[in-house]
Chain A
């Protein structure tokens, strides 16, 4: 099943297991979120061990730390936001050290939650039903914002997790689809995921977009109302990935392959509903997410409590850990992330940016390890299939990047390069 590209022949004295690539203990950084499930399951349920690997999981507190610790070799691999490797290859952010991903950790898991106060106003002003769609909710919020502006009320503060995050782009996508300019009509701030529910309860923020289980934690507490899930915005939207340094991947080809095989097996296991009790128990542990086990159990099965009043919604594929080639690092997805970076003024469009962005995703490493992958091309049109459309009906053609970005009614002004100065 896996390719044998070990270098044991070069060094006959070395044990076969190590193959000249050094000890098989991988230090892996992660942030406590349900979308770290595959990595955690690989470590805790024997999938890594079966491949001769030991995963030393290290819980971290910020994505910036994860990035820096990976860059400076404190971590071998890391659970990372999919836009982070793309940003690093584009030279964006405050420490753009080259980072790649050969494996996606699945799809889904994000949602947008607004405070119950704000949602009540949306019902009053926008006249939406309890079971309104994500788009209807966004349009209702736009109407509330008009009222708030007319009355001179302060703009709502909405929390995301990181500038280069799926949450940032999904929240912006949803707002913009409703006709809201995320840079002018609201104020986007960063709140660490475990603090979102408290921040909402305290009125420090009026809404947020984060991964599971934090939306459900807020809705079950009665402080928030879930108004959109990732599936509503774009079902295929890339989420977390396993990140590594390209130089490390090059010098540890067999370890990378074994890791991918282990993660692939763990991902299959995570997708099976019969394993969700065991998975939820482990995730709930204080070493990992440290959240109530019943909430995690509901999250895994996609049974959503939209609020504390008993409004529920079941999203069949809220989490896809493996199905539908969810682990394949599709370069089209990296390019879509690049399009959103351009759209929101984080970077200007350049032809060589296309190559840089796509190079963050490494399907070649995935195929080498698993000997399989999708039949269709790595770069192609996104959002043109039934069941996988963008909420505003746009279709992404990576070969027409500039046109795609120009096609959005709501977008930032082109980024103005800032000048460095010598002090």
Chain B
């Protein structure tokens, strides 16, 4: 359920060298928690964060026990999908727990309404620890928004592919019916379906469906 990515998971720098650099830099590694009941989407986000050089990412798919995880992890940024009813539970947690130092909603910079609207539309919500520099948050949110959108696109394409497959199947069945009932060859049956679709200005799959339905009534 919980996947902890080691701090040097980016693999670009040896751990020791990485540490030396971190000491000299003003921005330490951010601890990021991703909460998403959709495991595929969560892994897409996680990958994006790793590509952006964030090594300290925890992903959870179930909200069971999230309070404890937040208390021990003390994340700087929490990314959560907007359809998650447990957002209210997190709001409560932030009110009660002094160990979580006052996280605020993702809207760090209210002037950046374009980003906020994009996030709401994409279905991303985020909590950010107070005082975190907004440029650092913006990069994470931009990435999360684009990955959420990419995931929605993927889902849409998958649905389209599924319906295309269904259409192919019904055309095959209609072809078989025409071949059997009218003694046509496969090519002739296909040509007849296509011609009828063109004549009636309908989709070939619709004509095929009519053939299948009619055959079911007649036979």
Contact = CB atoms under 8 A, between A and B. Distances in A.
Contacts of B88: 62-64, 161-162, 190, 192
B27 A64 contact: no
The secondary-structure label for the interface of chain B is: mixed
Interface string B82-112: 1111111111111110100111110100000
B129 interface: yes
A147 interface: no
B160 interface: no
Interface string B133-161: 10010000000000000000000000000
A68 B30 CA distance: 25
Most chain A CB inside 10 Å of its own CB: which residue of B67, B91, B130: B91
Counting contact residues on chain A (CB < 8 A from B), the size range is 20 to 34
A72 B130 contact: no
Interface stretch (B113-121, B171-179, B190-198): B113-121
A65 B121 CA distance: 12
Contacts of B117: 72-73
Contact of A94 (B76, B89, B127): B127
B132 A94 contact: no
A160 interface: yes
A422 B134 CA distance: 10
Contacts of B11: none
B131 interface: yes
Given A62-B85, A72-B116, A423-B129, A162 B105 contact: no
A211 B117 CA distance: 31
A24 interface: no
27 contacts: A61-B84, A61-B85, A64-B105, A64-B125, A65-B125, A68-B105, A69-B120, A71-B107, A72-B116, A72-B117, A72-B120, A73-B117, A94-B91, A94-B94, A161-B88, A162-B92, A163-B92, A188-B92, A189-B89, A190-B93, A191-B89, A192-B85, A192-B88, A420-B130, A421-B131, A423-B76, A423-B136
Interface of A: 61-65, 68-69, 71-74, 93-95, 160-163, 188-192, 194-195, 346, 416, 418-423
Interface of B: 27-28, 30, 67, 76, 82-96, 98, 101-105, 107, 113, 116-117, 120, 125, 127, 129-133, 136
